[in-house]
Copies of this chain bind each other. A is one copy, B any other.
Amino acid sequence: MLSERRLQVLRAIVQDYVGTEEPVGSKALTERHNLGVSPATVRNDMAALEDEGFIAQPHTSAGRIPTDKGYRLFVDKLAGVKPMSPPERRAIQNFLDGAVDLDDVVARTVRLLAQLTRQVAVVQYPSLTRSTVRHVELLSLAPARVMLVLITDTGRVEQRMVDCPAPFGEASLADLRARLNSRVAGRRFSDVPTLVEDLPEAFDLEDRGTVSAVLSTLLETLVEENEERLMIGGTANLTRFGHDFPLTIRPVLEALEEHVVLLKLLGEAGDSGMTVRIGHENAYEGLNSTSVVSVGYGSGGEAVAKLGVVGPTRMDYPGTMGAVRAVARYVGQILAES
């Protein structure tokens, strides 16, 4: 086990490196943090930390930089979450309060997170699978064409066209609409399939085909996982990434365009509490030199989606975590209100 002082040395190294972006040496350390010991002692500690794999030297006779393992220890044991200041909290709330609809909430959240953390922000739309149905609307657009509109409790709206096997009268449509809503309104998505199972039986033979078509479209919409959308912002912050630009930034930009990858990444993160994935802990190769800080958010007690930021492993973890947590909290509130 590492002694208390060695942990302090590691913490100091992480803090300095995050600030300066340059390998930090023993002398600079003792000057900037009063560790109460001499550079020579610190050197011994650093050698030990290097043996354990927490820090590394880019080349002989340069300072040390933290490894992914070093950041991990820092995040787990050495760093708290830096809370937002009251003015910041107010600013967050004010900014989010101005949103007019769900798209706007998500867009504002992305912007806010990117500004607060000065990194790339990723916000997942409130997921369908954990939501409940608020209303299902059916519109007859043509004799054999119905539009299905699904409205969720998080304010999300999905629409689908249904081609009917046979013409479907307005009366039948109204009937189906009423029956459908009385069964599924307010229910969780996962319960819907069993709730509508026997619905076609209530209709005339000639209408059953259409009813089934509508229902299967509805079920499709409910499970369709590619509808897990997300919004991204703050990519300009990638330019602050480092000196060795093109090589580092390119795979990150590619990863950010692969929403599927990001969704998977967010999905893997723990369901409750904040998750920090550092460097190679990210399964996706393009993000091996980045850290992802993510957390679930939702209306009420339950998380319905995730949000987070992507930044260089060399990031201000306490500050980033504080911002992510605060934003998630306020977005949850906004969603609960609307």
- Taking beta carbons and an 8 Å cutoff, which residues of A are in contact with B? 100-101, 103, 134-135, 137, 139, 141, 147, 149, 151, 155, 157, 159-161, 229, 233-236, 238-239, 245-246, 249-250, 253-254, 256-257, 338
User: In whole angstroms, how far apart are the Cα atoms of A253 and B238 in the complex?
Assistant: 9
Do A250 and B236 touch across chains, with their CB atoms under 8 A apart? yes
Do A139 and B137 touch across chains, with their CB atoms under 8 A apart? yes
User: Which B-chain residue is minimally distant from A251 (CB atoms)?
Assistant: B236
Quick one: which of B100, B103, B147, B233 contacts A257, CB cutoff 8 A? B233
Do B235 and A239 touch across chains, with their CB atoms under 8 A apart? no
Do A249 and B239 touch across chains, with their CB atoms under 8 A apart? yes
Neighbouring B residues of A338 by C-beta, 8 Å: 161
User: Which B-chain residue is minimally distant from A234 (CB atoms)?
Assistant: B257
Distance from A6 Cβ to chain B, minimum over Cβ atoms (Å): 37
User: Which B-chain residue is minimally distant from A249 (CB atoms)?
Assistant: B239
User: In whole angstroms, how far apart are the Cα atoms of A142 and B222 in the complex?
Assistant: 24
User: In whole angstroms, how far apart are the Cα atoms of A161 and B155 in the complex?
Assistant: 9
User: Which B-chain residue is minimally distant from A220 (CB atoms)?
Assistant: B100
Do B239 and A257 touch across chains, with their CB atoms under 8 A apart? no
Neighbouring B residues of A137 by C-beta, 8 Å: 137, 139, 149
User: In whole angstroms, how far apart are the Cα atoms of A139 and B103 in the complex?
Assistant: 20
A141-B134, A149-B157 in contact; A250/B257 too (CB < 8 A)? Answer: no
